[in-house]
A and B are shown apart, each in its own frame.
Chain A
């Protein structure tokens, strides 16, 4: 699965930039991840939900609600 091979370095840099993390930053962070990766990796959603003490399902529910978020890497052949 693609999520096994997620390079987490860009994500760590994003989290670094957002310090101190605030509870009103969740969508902003998810947006930064989408913009950096071209999608929102599941692994990152799980890490973010741990950081914000939120159920992963809640964040995943948000991610899957928007047309502007993808849950799979964009197809590079296209």
Chain B
């Protein structure tokens, strides 16, 4: 089977020789290539028809949680209060994920048009793009683009001369992972500590400043113009039953060349993608394990790398597609080390608002460090599992609910590596 990209979202994007993206902030180029035909069509058909089309396309959120986009829009659209907000989540802090960056730089007008269509559909007059601190340069370019788009009548009080009001601001994050979680993102923009909170109320009802708010990921919004212009049936022709379109996959970890590629949902396996796009593993050895959906997704064993890149097959294998950030671990990579590295990151990322995550991340890392040092107690295995299960069940947001997944899956799939970290095992070897 030949493995190739399916360039829908990335069809206008080109790369430099060194693999970096060619930025394209030129409105003329976008308009000349059919840009804004989708918004024009949306304005003709009306907001209900747009939401219906997006629902029918079965587009799901590409930021990790995979919630149906059309449904989220419908929830926000039916709220009567205003002004409403459309937030574009460009925080992209997940380990092993840097796909949104490609769109934000390579085809930013596609994202902006997607935002405008979403705003029209839900009745939002205000939009904010929230950037990761590391994307500061791109955020500056976006500010320039927004000013230019206002001049060109693509944003402002009378978009395309059709009386649509939509104003967009750029907000730069300041280096906190948790700010990418939707409730924390809202608190962050408001100038409060970026902490999550229990839902409901959902942002659709009480979001930014208590107003109805829809938070969508960059890649999700980038899918919108084509769905609106070409119709849901076109989108449904890609992918598998119930999971359609393409995914921007980020290949990283022990690979020869880290990269981002766009593949049709279900068109190739994880292993094929690593071979075809990332030029195989770092040292050419077999894949020992893989995290298919970013740093908080459960590990799969190397033999599960034959799962197709799609929600169902990856779930059947025991993990989740999440952000489609595929992190490969080559034979020889210590899983205890891998878990320690992840926990070091997520432990510092916890906002501390809810006890399970605040305490669980720190305790988990302490215990993992004992395994690393070969000084763990036999009971530490059970402790790790208990803390993990508690955090999954009792944490407020996705961070606390998912950081234990790599821990628990590593324990299950590679028990011998943890057994080697128990003090008595070390003593017996001497």
Contacts and interface: CB of A to CB of B under 8 A. Distances in A.
B330 to A, nearest CB: 32
Interface residues on A, range: 20 to 34
A64 to B, nearest CB: 8
Given A24-B169, A24-B208, A31-B174, A62 B126 contact: no
Nearest to A28: B171
A67 B174 contact: yes
Interface string B156-179: 000000000000011111111000
A29 B188 CA distance: 12
A67 B85 CA distance: 27
A35 to B, nearest CB: 9
Interface in B144-202: 169-176, 188-194
B193 to A, nearest CB: 5
A4 to B, nearest CB: 25
B189 A24 contact: yes
A27 interface: yes
Nearest to B190: A26
A66 B174 contact: yes
B126 A24 contact: yes
A68 B191 CA distance: 14
Given A26-B191, A27-B188, A62-B191, A68 B208 contact: no
Interface string A21-35: 001111111110010
B169 A28 contact: yes
B191 A52 contact: yes
Nearest to A68: B174
B209 A62 contact: no
B128 interface: yes
Nearest to B186: A24
Across the A-B interface, give the 7 residue pairs with the lowest CB-CB distance, nearest first: A26-B191, A68-B174, A66-B174, A68-B175, A67-B175, A65-B193, A61-B193
14 contacts: A24-B85, A24-B128, A24-B189, A26-B189, A26-B190, A27-B174, A27-B191, A54-B191, A66-B176, A67-B176, A68-B133, A68-B173, A68-B174, A68-B175
Given A31-B174, A62-B193, 18 more contacts: A24-B126, A24-B128, A25-B169, A26-B189, A26-B190, A26-B191, A27-B191, A28-B172, A29-B191, A30-B191, A31-B171, A52-B191, A58-B191, A61-B192, A66-B194, A67-B175, A68-B133, A69-B174
